Every structure is written in C-alpha cells, then in structure tokens.
Chains A and B, each alone.
Chain A
Amino acid sequence: MATGPGGAPPIETRGLTKRFGALTALDDLTINVEPGEVYGFLGPNGAGKTTTIRAILGLAKPSEGSARVFGFDAWVQREEAHRHLAFVPGEFAPWPTLRGSEMLDLIARVHGRYDPQRRDEMCKRFEFDPTRRGREYSKGNRQKIALIAAFSVDAELLVLDEPTSGLDPLMEIEFRACVIEARDRGQTVFLSSHLLSEVEAVCDRVAILRKGRLVEVGMLDDLRKLNTQEVEIEFGSIVPDLSHVPGVQQLRANGSHVTLRLKGAPNALIAALAAHDVRDLDIREPSLEELFLTYYGDVE
C-alpha cells in the first residue's frame, strides 16, 4: 500500500497552472509527494491551495501543466485516480435531509473499500452523533462527517483541504492523532493548511505557497526558522533593556509597554524577565501573512 499502484508517486505536478480569466490563481507549480509521507501544503488564505487541490482531484482542468495521482492523469484518468484517494474539503456540504449515518454509508459504499469497524470507532473518537439530519449539524459536526468518511475508507492517499475549520481544540488533537495513525497504516497524507502549528505537528515535509507560486519546499526542520512568536510585555516600574537577549528582534517600547518578536526557544527571555516586575505577558503565534512578509518580502 505504501508505494501505491505501479510504484508511481501519490501526487506529482508538473508546471501546474490555473487561470480564471485574467487572474492566474496558480502559477507553474511543480511538487512531488512521496509514498507514506505526510505532506504539508502551507499558505495564507487565497494563496491557491484549494485551486491546486481541485486540479489534483480532477475537478478543475489545468490551464497548463499537469497533475498526476499514482501515475494517472488527474484530469483525463480521474476515475482511476479517485479509486485510490479520499478527500476532506474545507467546508463539507451535507445533504440537508440525509442522516449522518446515511451519508457515511453512502460515501463508503460509493468508494467501495471501507472498514465499518474503523468508522464506528471514528464516530466515538470524534464524539459524533450519526442519527441527526444534515441540516441539523453545526459547522464542526459537518466537518466531522467528511473526516470520519475519509479516515474509514481504505485509500492510499488522503487529500485534506483545511480540514479542521470549525473543530474545537480537543477534536483538533484527535484529528492530528488520526493523521499520524493513517501514516502508520501506510497511507500518504496531503494536508493543506494555513495554520503553521498544525502543519508543524504532523507533517514530514512542507511546501509553502504564496500568491499562486511555490515559495519553498523543505523538511520540517527548515520550518523552524519560521518559528517566531509575537511577545507583548507590560512592565511595572522599571523597563529593562532586552535588546541583548538571544532571539529578540524588532524590539519596540512604548512607555511601560514592550513588544518584540522572538525567534527560537523562549528560555533566555524568561530568564531575563524573571528579575523584573512583569504585570502582563502575552505570547502568540504570528499569522502566516506576517511571517511571509518578514521572510520572503512581498513577492509580486
């Protein structure tokens, strides 16, 4: 199962380009997803992630170039390609009048190869009630239908397009565990996301897309350089000088209020702060767009 049919790579795109009228949504994308890996596809909203995925799934015809799934042309031989993959969209649209269980059953039977036991187990893990009707499910529960369906069919490749939108943090953790288990079963996972933390948690390799172009492909370690945090500190009386603390960048002080960007582990900063009167401390992950501006400038 790991190598897939015919030993061809699970996903391979060559100069994949998609234009909508004058707009180039995707420009000359060439990527190669290896069997058995969890491949992260990272980019801010509107970068062209969904466009790429629709081309890979044979839902949209490339303007130029090609996408192949296990060697099958994604557009011409889409039915063959579909036999080997399962898909979770960013926003799953349920049939309003069908029950959750009916939808899961339908998707599994249309696909043909599925594991009913794993499906029941998935329903429990995601705390999903399959007896309700499509229109009664909340956003997060709609998403769970697609996730459970995808994880319970025997597909060599899972294509996930921002699959965790609407899930609460506990379910997000469950989702990450499922991705790791899928990889351990030998499945290849293509995970598109705009959350650095999500990609960091599960992916072996990452492609970064911005404004329709591939910015970088790297192993997870390469991502570390992106691993910076926005820190805001409110001091009591004395505002110390933090400019010499390792990892501190873009230091700005406004009275007792200090903002800075921290690269790498926060040990040194915490040690430096320990001796001072800290009233409030806020550490957050910067948005991808903020990060990209820092590291890649404005690619026009």
Chain B
Amino acid sequence: MTLSRFAWRHVWRGAVIWSGVLAIIVLTAIATFESAYPNEGSREAFARSIGQLPAFQALYGRAVGVDTVGGFLTWRYGDIMSLIIGLWALLLVTRMMRADEETGRAEVLVAGRVPPRRLLLVQYAVFLAGCALIMTAVTVAGVAGGLPVGGSILFGFMVAAGGVIFGSVAAVTSQLFDARRRAAGWAGAALGASFLVRALADGSSKLHSLAWITPLGWTERVEPFTGASVVPIVVIVAASGLLFSGAFLMREYRDTGAGLIGARTSRGRPRPMRSSLELDWHLSTGALVAWGSGIFVILFVLGYLTHDMVRFANDNPTITKALNRVYGYSIASPVGFLSVSFGFAALLLAVYAGSHMLSAREDEAAGRADTLVIAGTSRIAWLLSRIAIALIAIAVLALVAAFGAWLGASVSGVSVGFVHSLEASINVIPASLLFGGLSVLAFGSFPRFTAYVTFGSVAACYVIQVLGGLSHAPHWLTKVSPFAHIAPVPAASVDLHATLAMLAIALATSALGVSAFARRDLARD
C-alpha cells in the first residue's frame, strides 16, 4: 500500500493534467465541428475534400466516416492524442523505473524488504491506473459532448492505449539501459518509428497493410465510432502484456542500478574542453544526431508523399479547386504540400528548442551548474552558451529538414527545388525560437516548472492550430498560437510582420529569462 502511494506520487500530477487537457480538446473539437459543418451537406463536402487528401491521412491518420462527429474526432485528434499520451507515458515510466535507480533512491526500497520485481509490478499497476484515469476523462468528455457511450469508451481506450503500449515499451528499455536518457531515447525512437510507419501506411495507396505492424496503426484500427472491431483491442492488450512480461523477466537478470546492455565503455581519446561553450557543444552532439536522423526521415517521408498529392490533384480537379479556395493556396501542388510538411517540421523544431533549454534545468537540479559557475563561468555566460548551441543546432536541423523533404520529393519523381525547400525550412525557424525563448523565461523565473511551461505551451499551441484548420474556430483562439502565424512558404510569401514579431518575442523572453536567472538562487533538487 505504501509502495503504491509512493509510485502514485510520480503519476498523479501528469495524469490529472492530461485528463483535463484532453477532455477540453474533445469538447472543443466536437463543438467546433458542429458549428463549422452544421448539416449533412456540408459534412459530406468536408469528407470528400479535406478528408481525402493523402497527406492529411499521413499526418492525422486514416479518414473513416469523417462526415460524422465521432469519425471526425477520431481522425483529427485520436492519433495525435494517442501520440501525446504515449510520449507522456514513456517519460513517466522511465522516470519511475530507471531515474530512481540512477539517483540511488530505489536502492533504499530494494535493499529493504521489497523484492525488485514487486516494486516493478506495483509501478506498472499504478501507471495503468494513471492511464485508466485519462481514458475515463476522455470517455466522459465524449459522452458530455453528445457522442454515444459505447463509442466514447472505445475512443477513451484508443487514446489511453498509446500510453499503455509505449509505457510498456519504456518498461523494457528501462531494463535494457542504465541511464534514463537512453531508456527514454530508445522508447521515443520506437514511438517516432511507429508514427512514421503509420503515416506511410495511411498516406500511400500501396502500403496500407503496413499499419498492422505499428502500435499507432492498431490504435487507429479501433475505429471507436465507425467500426468498433475487437481484433485491434486484443492486439493492443496482448502486445502490452507481452512487453511488460518481458520487462518483468529481465528484471531478474540484472543488478539494481545496472542495465542488461552494459554502459558505453570508455573508448576513444579524451576531448579537451576549456569552457562551458565547448562542453555544451560536446554534450549536444549525441542528441543532435538523433534528432537530425528523426527529422530527416520524417521530412523525407512527407516529401515522398508529394507524388501521391499531385496525382490526387490531377484525378480530382473539382475538389482541389475547392480546397485551394479554403486554404488560399494550392495545397496539393508540390510547393503547396511542401508548406504543409514544414508546418509539421515547425512543431518538431519547437519541441527540440524546448528540450534543449530544458537540459539547463536538469544540469542545475543535479548540481552541475554549481560546479561550472563556481569554477569561474559567469551565470550569464553559462546560460548564453547553451542558447548559442541551441541556435546552431536549430539551424543544422532546419538544413537537414530541407534536405530530407527535397530528397523525398525528388525520389518520388517530383521536383520541388532545393531552394524552395530551404525557404520553407528557414521560414519556420522563428516559431521554434519563440518556444525556446519561452523555455528560457520559464527557466529563469520558475525553474521547477520549466518542463511544464515548455512542453505545455508547444502542445497547447499545436492543438489550437490544428483546431484553427477548421473555418469556424474562434478567431481569437487561433491567433494565440504561433504556429497559426507561419505563412505557407513557398506557396505564399513570408509573413514579414509575423516573423519579426516572433523573433522579437523570442529575443525579449530570452533576455528576461537570462536576467531573471542571474538574479535568483541556484536550486539543487
């Protein structure tokens, strides 16, 4: 009992926050769809136009029955919500099952009378309880929004399933690796790969069957309001059970504090580092390579889908014309689709900017900031060097994204021009800097809330922007999100005012954050 209460302390905050956020998203999405498409005719028109775009199927998932409220909700939000909860779950599970061992906190329990496997079992059970809370919140929101009870329950299950599966994956990686960062990194890579395969399966006409090899394909196939099939549910439960059983078995074959796969051995020559700038660069390269690979693959796949988009436009000239009127630019043309792809790249770069700055908080909490600051780095120099490396890293990632999208399109047989791709990429940088700036401000002013502010603002703004894709969404709400202010370059020209405003906000928030950091106490955890 005490053990489960101990584990629950890790779980409850995130579970409660996400339950609330997801419930609000569900209610807002239902209301927005009903006001934007009030009658059968408008809903059918929507389903035949936007709902048929292969690229949108790649980004949001297979569009089934999107002329109904439930079908629309599942398509536009189901997949992204499973993804977000999956991310929450893998961060949470690696923190419970690995970070506590890294810091030695778990030893206190395991060295006492608690068998390691019982601790693992309790942690997993408590984590499942957190997922159940989220499922309940989503279900209740669906019913409150007027959707059928059975479908709402399945929809809640679909969203929570993303958490259960990737939490189980994280339980396995936590046994394999001795550092939380690596455990979370590999589980995150599994989540990214799963999204990518699902996007390929839904976006390309030839690869539909691939959806059955990816967990996000399973959650999609639950089809809560339109199909309600039992097979994917069985697959999800069985896969999670198998994964956790694997973790449970592995726990017996490793020491507390160690991973099944040994720590990286000390190979290679030591690298001399003379300043916090050189140190930050050295420490950032690993994550940069991982992010670079991920962004390259995702943009390559989106670029590759250009071919399907163009063919769709040729086959359906009427729909394409209607779409172009709604969006204000030719969304299914090669350059138009490039703009859409980089709208998604903007989200990835924003998350990178936030997580890069979050490492400052991690260093402070561990006491590594103390070491450098006392050795003679001024606090301002310490933080500025990290910001400088973030700027370089974002520039590198933007270049990689541009190259990936261009290469993908070229391979699929469509030429978009590398310069166009580069323009599209550079155009989304200011938005990511804005989120980086917010993160610096949070770190300077409310260090303990850096992670919440950073990822909360990115997630909220992205969801708002997706809502804004519907014509009748509240005007003021869409205007809040920086993502909504990114002009569809190269289909349209750069929105100079918005770009300058975003850069100004990024600069101001960073400056405020740096000066607040210089004036506050450094706090170890």
Partner of A83, one of B179, B271, B376: B376
Of residues B178, B266, B371, B374, which shows the largest number of chain A Cβ atoms within 10 Å of its Cβ? B374
Partner of B367, one of A83, A89, A112, A131: A89
B375 & A107 in contact (Cβ 8 Å cutoff): yes
How long is the Cα–Cα vector from A79 to B372 in the complex, in angstroms?
12
Known contacts A79-B378, A82-B373, A91-B367: A110-B179 contact under CB 8 Å: no
Is A57 in contact with chain B by the CB < 8 A criterion?
yes
Give every chain A residue within 8 A of B522 (Cβ-Cβ). Answer: 54, 59-60
Is A125 in contact with chain B by the CB < 8 A criterion?
no
How long is the Cα–Cα vector from A135 to B104 in the complex, in angstroms?
12
Partner of B273, one of A87, A94, A105: A105
B368 & A54 in contact (Cβ 8 Å cutoff): no
Partner of B270, one of A92, A102, A146: A102
B18-26, B142-150, B274-282, B480-488 - interface stretch: B274-282
Q: Give the nearest-CB partner of A131 in chain B.
A: B266
Q: Which 10 A-B pairs have the closest CB atoms?
A: A93-B367, A60-B521, A110-B375, A93-B366, A109-B274, A59-B522, A87-B374, A111-B375, A106-B273, A107-B375
Known contacts A82-B375, A133-B266: A93-B273 contact under CB 8 Å: no
Which residues of chain A from 141 to 155 have a CB within 8 Å of any chain B CB? 146, 149
Give every chain A residue within 8 A of B286 (Cβ-Cβ). Answer: 97
Which residues of chain A from 86 to 104 have a CB within 8 Å of any chain B CB? 86-87, 89, 91-99, 101-102
Is A132 in contact with chain B by the CB < 8 A criterion?
yes
Known contacts A97-B283, A107-B375, A110-B375: A135-B273 contact under CB 8 Å: no
B367 & A96 in contact (Cβ 8 Å cutoff): no
B376 & A110 in contact (Cβ 8 Å cutoff): yes
Known contacts A60-B522, A135-B178: A110-B275 contact under CB 8 Å: yes
Q: Give the nearest-CB partner of B279 in chain A.
A: A106
Partner of B266, one of A82, A83, A99, A106: A99
B371 & A93 in contact (Cβ 8 Å cutoff): yes
Q: List the interface of chain A (C-beta within 8 A of B).
A: 54, 57, 59-61, 79, 82-83, 85-87, 89, 91-99, 101-102, 105-107, 109-112, 131-133, 135-136, 146, 149
Which residues of chain B from 332 to 386 have a CB within 8 Å of any chain A CB? 366-368, 370-378
Known contacts A60-B521, A102-B270, A135-B179: A109-B373 contact under CB 8 Å: no
A96 & B376 in contact (Cβ 8 Å cutoff): no
**Total B residues in contact with A, Cβ cutoff 8 Å:** 34
Partner of A61, one of B178, B270, B521: B521
Give every chain B residue within 8 A of A85 (Cβ-Cβ). Answer: 374
Give every chain A residue within 8 A of B102 (Cβ-Cβ). Answer: 135
B521 & A92 in contact (Cβ 8 Å cutoff): no
- Rounded to whole Å, the gap between the CB of B100 and the closest CB of chain A is 15
Give every chain B residue within 8 A of A60 (Cβ-Cβ). Answer: 521-522
- Rounded to whole Å, the gap between the CB of B175 and the closest CB of chain A is 17
Is B263 in contact with chain A by the CB < 8 A criterion?
yes
Known contacts A95-B283, A106-B279, A110-B274: A59-B370 contact under CB 8 Å: yes
Q: Give the nearest-CB partner of B368 in chain A.
A: A93
Q: List the interface of chain B (C-beta within 8 A of A).
A: 102, 178-179, 181, 263-264, 266, 270-276, 279, 282-283, 286, 366-368, 370-378, 519-522
Known contacts A59-B522, A101-B270, A102-B271: A133-B376 contact under CB 8 Å: no
How long is the Cα–Cα vector from A102 to B279 in the complex, in angstroms?
10
How long is the Cα–Cα vector from A96 to B178 in the complex, in angstroms?
11
Known contacts A112-B376, A133-B266: A105-B272 contact under CB 8 Å: yes
Q: Give the nearest-CB partner of B278 in chain A.
A: A106
Known contacts A106-B274, A106-B279: A133-B264 contact under CB 8 Å: yes
Q: Give the nearest-CB partner of A95 in chain B.
A: B368
Give every chain B residue within 8 A of A110 (Cβ-Cβ). Answer: 274-276, 372, 375-377
Partner of B371, one of A92, A132, A133: A92
How long is the Cα–Cα vector from A83 to B274 in the complex, in angstroms?
16
Partner of A57, one of B263, B270, B283, B374: B374
Known contacts A54-B521, A92-B367: A102-B273 contact under CB 8 Å: yes
Of residues B275, B366, B372, B373, which shows the largest number of chain A Cβ atoms within 10 Å of its Cβ? B373
B179 & A132 in contact (Cβ 8 Å cutoff): no
Give every chain A residue within 8 A of B266 (Cβ-Cβ). Answer: 99, 131-133, 136
Partner of B263, one of A61, A83, A106, A136: A136
B521 & A99 in contact (Cβ 8 Å cutoff): no
Can you list 15 A-B pairs, Cβ within 8 angstroms, ordered by A?
Answer: A59-B373, A79-B378, A82-B376, A87-B370, A87-B374, A89-B370, A92-B371, A102-B271, A102-B272, A102-B273, A106-B279, A109-B272, A132-B266, A133-B266, A146-B371
Q: Give the nearest-CB partner of B264 in chain A.
A: A133
- Rounded to whole Å, the gap between the CB of A112 and the closest CB of chain B is 6
Q: Give the nearest-CB partner of A106 in chain B.
A: B273
Give every chain A residue within 8 A of B283 (Cβ-Cβ). Answer: 95, 97
Give every chain A residue within 8 A of B373 (Cβ-Cβ). Answer: 59, 82
Given contacts A82-B376, A93-B366, A110-B376, 20 further A-B contacts (CB under 8 A): A57-B374, A59-B521, A82-B373, A87-B370, A87-B374, A89-B367, A89-B370, A91-B367, A92-B367, A93-B368, A95-B279, A96-B181, A97-B286, A102-B271, A110-B372, A110-B375, A110-B377, A133-B266, A135-B178, A135-B263
